[in-house]
């Protein structure tokens, strides 16, 4: 456990969270990055220079690819930041500069926008509204973002149809349900920002497909305190696709094994327990993801590794926190109710109860850990602070663990076996 001294905030600690921007087909095209300089603060700083330093420092530590899974970073820009051209320190192909609602459309701003466009940067107008005073900036914008909840359907349709916006991607913000997404799409929006795809609507009850059930059992098998390798071998052999991928991985030049591997058991012994568990966890999660939005699979890996990193410092009984984090998004990945996902899995009672917590409506011993995981993911800094304190975790440790998990998950997915044999 951390000491009270460790729990105090270290200076210059920067925090990052992100929210996906997706197509109607749920393909991620970028992430809006949410920053905060100090964990004790629950609001963002208005000092543009300080905020920009935080952005650049954090992205230098984590890396843009890890922070955004290789997609574009949408970063808020204040008036001061725009005029001082701090964004020239970031690669134009990797960022979208979001001009905030209070930036005036004066000559200096117009000139700064033109300069950024000349340098091949993409611009977005954030929180756009009918009769917005930033309308003169629309010719420079690649994206126009609208909080669709604030306006009537007629106003939303008019914003999309405005002639000066025809060249822009219209982004519907604050989309939290699939019904909101479908309504916005009907109004003409082509991109959507929010967590609607992580909150599936009430789904019809159906049985989990046999191959996905085998993958879940395999995940459970390699998460046992003592691994039964006979069982693991049997489960791998039950899935021809997984067998093929494992043999291809074992025979790849990357591993550099001295001889070819022709059997699953031989390959398992050569790979070793630690690397075998790592590969199985990666491969099964990616296979279960299939064609589903890559952000869901990536987020499940981030959650899993984050829980794994904090596990030595928190009380969690016999629960496998890695498995809890990984399974926490499996209902959305598989498009199945969580009850169907965990049915028949030999999970410990606390893990199963926590995964079903929204359904059963009661807290478990793992609830503070689970809620810390969710709060850190979405940038709910107030809850992060509260649950870290409850778990006696230092805020810098929480932040460092989450950043390391983002980097780890990005490396895992970048090196993942192909979804096609």
| 269-297 mean pLDDT | 76
Task: Show which of 178, 198, 218 is a domain's final residue.
Answer: 198
The mean pLDDT of the chain is: 81
53-111 pLDDT, tens digit each: 666 667 766 788 888 888 999 998 889 889 988 788 788 999 999 999 999 999 999 99
- Same-domain pairing of 145 and 183: yes
- Same-domain pairing of 171 and 221: no
- Same-domain pairing of 248 and 158: no
* CA 299 to mean position of chain CA atoms: 4
Of the pLDDT bands very low, low, confident and very high (cuts 50, 70, 90), residue 10 is very low
Task: Show which of 174, 198, 222 is a domain's final residue.
Answer: 198
Is there a domain that residue 421 lies in?
no
| 294-316 mean pLDDT | 90
Task: Show which of 198, 226, 257 is a domain's final residue.
Answer: 198
Of the pLDDT bands very low, low, confident and very high (cuts 50, 70, 90), residue 46 is very low
**Is the model's pLDDT at 7 over the cut of 70?**
no
- Same-domain pairing of 35 and 143: yes
| 193-211 mean pLDDT | 64
Token code pair at residue 79? 């008036």
Is there a domain that residue 222 lies in?
yes
Is there a domain that residue 240 lies in?
yes
Determine the structural domain holding residue 190 and report its residue range. Answer: 4-198
Nearest to residue 89, comparing CAs of 101, 104, 77? 77
208-266 pLDDT, tens digit each: 555 677 787 888 788 777 888 888 888 888 776 677 677 767 766 656 666 666 677 88
DSSP H or E stretch at residue 275: helix 273-289
- Same-domain pairing of 170 and 252: no
- Same-domain pairing of 192 and 215: no
Report the CATH number that the domain containing residue 185 is assigned in CATH.
3.20.20.450
Is there a domain that residue 82 lies in?
yes
Write down the pTM of the prediction. 0.76
Is there a domain that residue 29 lies in?
yes
Is there a domain that residue 390 lies in?
yes
Q: What is the pLDDT of residue 257?
A: 67
Number of domains, the chain: 2
Q: What is the pLDDT of residue 201?
A: 57
- Same-domain pairing of 91 and 176: yes
Enumerate residues 6+ apart whose C-beta is below 8 A from 168.
138, 141, 142, 143, 144
Q: What is the pLDDT of residue 44?
A: 40
Q: What is the pLDDT of residue 418?
A: 45
Rounded distance, CA 110 to CA 93, Å? 21
Question: In this structure, how many other beta carbons lie within 10 angstroms of the beta carbon of residue 307?
Answer: 27
- Same-domain pairing of 223 and 192: no
The answer to whether the CB of 44 falls within 8 A of the CB of 100 is no
Taking CA 394 as the corner, what is the angle to CA 393 and CA 397, rounded to the nearest 5 degrees?
A: 100
- Same-domain pairing of 116 and 9: yes
- Same-domain pairing of 59 and 151: yes
Nearest to residue 64, comparing CAs of 100, 33, 99, 22? 33
| Highest averaged pLDDT of the listed ranges 40-44, 280-284, 310-314, 352-356 | 310-314
| 146-157 mean pLDDT | 94
């Amino acid at each position: 456990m951390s000491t009270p001294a460790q729990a105090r905030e270290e200076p210059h600690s920067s925090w990052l969270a992100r929210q996906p921007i997706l197509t109607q087909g749920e393909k991620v095209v970028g992430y809006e990055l949410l920053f905060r300089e100090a964990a004790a603060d629950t609001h963002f700083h208005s000092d543009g220079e300080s905020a920009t330093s935080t952005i650049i420092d954090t992205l230098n530590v984590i890396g843009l690819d890890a922070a955004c899974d290789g997609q574009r970073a949408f970063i808020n820009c204040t008036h001061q930041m725009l005029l001082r051209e701090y964004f020239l320190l970031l690669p134009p192909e990797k960022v979208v500069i979001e001009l905030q609602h209070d930036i005036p459309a004066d000559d200096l701003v117009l000139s700064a926008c033109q300069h950024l466009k000349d340098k091949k940067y993409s611009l977005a107008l954030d929180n756009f509204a009918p009769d917005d005073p930033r309308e003169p900036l629309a010719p420079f914008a690649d994206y126009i973002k609208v909080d669709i909840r604030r306006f009537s359907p007629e106003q939303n349709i008019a914003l999309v149809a405005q002639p000066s916006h025809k060249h822009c991607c219209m982004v519907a913000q604050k989309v939290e349900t699939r019904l909101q997404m479908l309504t916005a799409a009907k109004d003409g929006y082509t991109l959507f920002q929010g967590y609607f795809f992580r909150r599936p609507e009430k789904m019809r009850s159906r049985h989990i497909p046999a191959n996905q059930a085998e993958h879940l059992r395999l995940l459970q098998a390699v998460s046992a305190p003592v691994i039964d390798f006979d069982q693991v071998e049997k489960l791998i052999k039950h899935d021809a696709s997984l067998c093929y991928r494992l043999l291809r991985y074992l025979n790849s030049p990357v591993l550099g094994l001295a001889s070819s591997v022709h059997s699953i058991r031989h390959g398992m012994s050569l790979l070793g327990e630690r690397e075998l568990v790592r590969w199985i966890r990666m491969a099964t999660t990616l296979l279960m993801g299939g064609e589903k939005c890559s952000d869901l699979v990536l987020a499940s890996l981030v959650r899993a590794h984050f829980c794994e990193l904090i596990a030595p410092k928190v009380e969690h009984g016999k629960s496998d926190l890695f498995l809890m984090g990984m399974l926490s998004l499996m209902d959305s990945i598989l498009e199945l109710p969580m009850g169907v996902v965990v049915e028949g899995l030999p999970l410990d009672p606390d893990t199963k109860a926590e995964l079903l917590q929204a359904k059963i409506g009661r807290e478990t011993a793992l609830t503070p850990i689970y809620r810390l995981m969710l709060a850190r993911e979405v940038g709910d800094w107030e809850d992060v602070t509260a649950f870290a304190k409850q778990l006696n975790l230092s805020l810098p440790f929480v932040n460092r663990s989450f950043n390391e998990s983002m980097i780890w998950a990005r490396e895992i997915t970048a090196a993942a076996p192909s979804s096609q044999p």
